[in-house]
Amino acid sequence: MPLPHHRPAPPPRPRASAAPGGGVAPSPRPRAGFTIVEIMVAVAIIAIAFFPLLTLITSDYTLATKTSNQSKAAAVINKLIEEVKHVPFTTWLKECPALAEGKAMPIPEKYYSETSASILELKKADDREFWLEATMQGSKNDAGQLVEIYFQVELRWRDQGSKETESKPERRLRASALIFNPETKF
């Protein structure tokens, strides 16, 4: 009588039969797993599928940077134009007598100090260098009176790198404004 805790022995495994060529016959069960060739084909397909996505992400980032810099430049230029437009015409007559000669001259920085501060903040925040050229030119009437002042502002930058980086294209944005002398007699 068998002992109560004893289990019967498992049935014997079938032996591999000898193949006609003298080798062992293949097992009737399929083998689990992938071959190295299957894995390499799968990796190649995934790489080919993801390459366009990576290119798209990179180009989107570049476009976003360009758009951001363009917007910042437009805001700076508009701020400068508004600052100089709100200086009374009599101040320009007193402090910039060279305007009466009709030659272009740089706009004194004291008239756009807020804009200068904004440019410095941009440089600190974005590590982006913007460089500015702001000029003004007066125009006289036949009576010799200063009739108008033409302001022109150009802001330049590179989307990557600094002023000296020649491998990246230089971007620029221009704006202008014209103010009239309210005391001019025609």
Report phi then psi at 106, rounded to 5.
-65, 145
In the chain, count of helices (H) and strands (E)? 3, 4
Residue 66 and residue 169 in contact, taking contact as beta carbons nearer than 8 Å:
no
Helix axes 36-85, 113-126, angle to 10 degrees: 170
Q: CA–CA separation, 157 vs 132, rounded Å?
A: 9
Residue 107 and residue 151 in contact, taking contact as beta carbons nearer than 8 Å:
yes
Name the pTM for this structure: 0.65
How does pLDDT run along the chain (186 residues), one tens digit per residue? 555 666 677 776 655 555 555 555 555 666 678 899 999 999 999 999 888 888 877 777 777 878 888 898 899 999 999 999 999 998 998 999 888 888 899 999 999 999 999 888 888 776 677 889 999 999 988 888 889 999 999 999 887 666 676 767 888 999 999 999 888 776
